[in-house]
Amino acid sequence: MIYLDNAAAAPPLKEALESFQETLFSCYANPSSAHAAGFRISALMEEMRSRVADTLGLTPSEIIFTSGATEANNTVLQSFTSRFKRGEALALSPIEHASIENTARSLEQTGTRIHYLPLTPEGETDIPRLQKVLPPSCALLSIIAVNNETGIVQPLKALIAEVRRIRPETLIHVDAVQSFWSSLWEELPLLDWDFLTLSAHKLHALKGTGILAARKGRLLHPLLNGGGQERGLRAGTENIPGIIAFGMVLQFLNKKRKTYCRHMTQLEEYVLSAADKLAEYHINRRTGAVYSPHIISLRHEFIPGAVLQNALSEQGIYVSTGSACSDKNKKSLRVLKALGYDEDQARNTIRASFSPLSSMEEIRALIRALEDLGESLGGLYRKARQQ
């Protein structure tokens, strides 16, 4: 198996989770229980919270554990719009993940006004045009730091500075789910955002855990009410195994990040140069924009992405079309079209996403397979098109 769908879900890191099994079977008490076993678990959970907070340059009380990034994103959007006054608006980029886009769409039906941020031809937020586009009443702006389908990195520092300058009242939410391997990651703690979301399973921990970071004083409304966990912001018994795994993996990755980034950059560079030589394949990147090394979006001129995905899957090479979260969705071309690709280009796109565990051999196998498929299927589709 050659697994190149790490932006959808990255494999749990064995090295980081070596002692996890032991924790799983010994830490089963409820962290809210007022006995020694409960206190122990609670202390362990708080230690993990501190690790996450340290990584993001925050204090532990600014970290809320959720069931995933989808819940974290929903919490931010829904808690602000529920308090919107008449005429207030929500701004987002046209290349957000479905958990932002579709939440915004559903809020729109209940009267929230939605404004899309303008993009440059390269796919970055068009900062000089923000003043024109952002209404003075814009209460919240949500931006995806690294786009999950193409890996394009937003100029977050300049964007945030400009929003603060022209709309000081507007709160800023950063969807940082895919940002760990990008150049942006180290900047994140220093930037002046209000909310930020992360997902554990995209970072080699377990599914069912997400992070919502909310800087002090930024009030949220809980989506779920109940036992008052997470300072009343997210009710429900905490997912202790997921939280512990995330803390362990994060600590491990923080140490190794630079080495791993170098490795993935090598893989990226190889794909970029090799794919460039493949007939009828094109990388979905624009000169002048910045991309995260772990995501490569590419297309064949004629072969649909779904067919490439099927054919690669038959050979044990796993990639996705667009984004895995929208694969089954007819609207899945939304992001690529917003980035200036036409319907055919978007439909013919696949996404290969790497992890530190991906090897150069695997990437070579991908390139070879793409070359073979281009030869065996390209002609057929070219003919069908010409007809």
Partner 1 sequence: MTDYLVSYGELALKGKNRRFFEKKLLQMIKERVQRDHLKITASFLYGKILVHSDESPDTTRSLLSQIFGIAAFRPVYTFPYDYELLKERLPALLAASMETRNPHTFRITAKRAFKLFPIDSMAVARDLGSLVLSRFPGLKVDLTRPDMEITVDIRSEGFFVSLDKIKGAGGFPEGSQGRALLLLSGGIDSPVAGYLAMKRGLATDFVTFQAPPFTGEGALNKVRELAGVIRSKGSRRKGQLYIVNVATLQKEIIASCKPEYATLLLRVVMLKTAAALAHVKGYDALITGDSLGQVASQTIRSLAAVDAVAGGFTLRPLIGYDKNDIMAIAESLGTMEISNRPFQDCCSLFVPEHPATKPEEALLLSESEKLPLQSFLDGLRDHLSSESV
Q: Footprint of partner 1 on this chain (CB under 8 A)?
A: 306-311, 313-314, 328-330, 373, 377, 380, 383-384, 387
Residue 297 dihedral angles phi and psi, to the nearest 5°: -105, 125
The nearest distance, CB 299 to partner 1, in angstroms, is 16
Query: Smallest distance, Å, CB 193 to partner 1?
Result: 35
Which tokens is 350 given?
């696949």
- Looking at the Cβ atoms of 212 and 307, the one nearer to partner 1 is 307
**Whether 325 is catalytic:** yes
Q: Which of 27, 138, 261, 325 is catalytic?
A: 325
Cα–Cα distance measured from residue 31 to residue 229, given in angstroms and rounded to the nearest whole number: 9
User: Mapping DSSP to helix (H, G, I), strand (E, B) and coil, where does residue 225 land?
Assistant: coil
| DSSP character at residue 125 | B
State residue 363 phi and psi, 5-degree precision: -70, -40
CB of 310 to partner 1, least distance (A): 4
CA atoms within 13 A on the CB side of 369: 21
Q: How far is the CB of 334 from partner 1 (least distance, A)?
A: 14
Q: Which is nearer to partner 1, 226 or 379 (CB)?
A: 379
CB of 159 to partner 1, least distance (A): 34
35/328 with CB nearer partner 1? 328
Q: How far is the CB of 342 from partner 1 (least distance, A)?
A: 17
Which tokens go with 145?
């730091």
Output the CA–CA distances (angstroms, integers) from residue 104 to 91, 92, 155, 206, 286, in the order listed: 9, 8, 22, 27, 28
Q: How far is the CB of 287 from partner 1 (least distance, A)?
A: 32
Identity of the residue, 307 or 366, whose beta carbon is nearer to partner 1 in the bound complex: 307
Pick 248 or 312: Cβ nearer partner 1? 312
Nearest to 75 by CA among 242, 240, 236, 243: 236
Instruction: Measure the CA angle with vertex 59, ends 183 and 212; round to 5°.
Output: 65
**Torsion sign across C-alpha atoms 52, 54, 57, 61:** positive
Identity at 324, one-letter amino acid code: A
Gap between the Cα atoms of 249 and 244, Å rounded = 9
CB of 309 closer than 8 Å to CB of 175: no
User: Looking at beta carbons only, is 86 or 328 nearer to partner 1?
Assistant: 328
Which residue, 139 or 366, is less far from partner 1 as judged by CB? 366
Residue 103 burial (C-beta neighbours within 10 Å; 0-12, 13-18, 19+): buried
CB 43 within 8 A of CB 241: no
Residues designated catalytic: 325
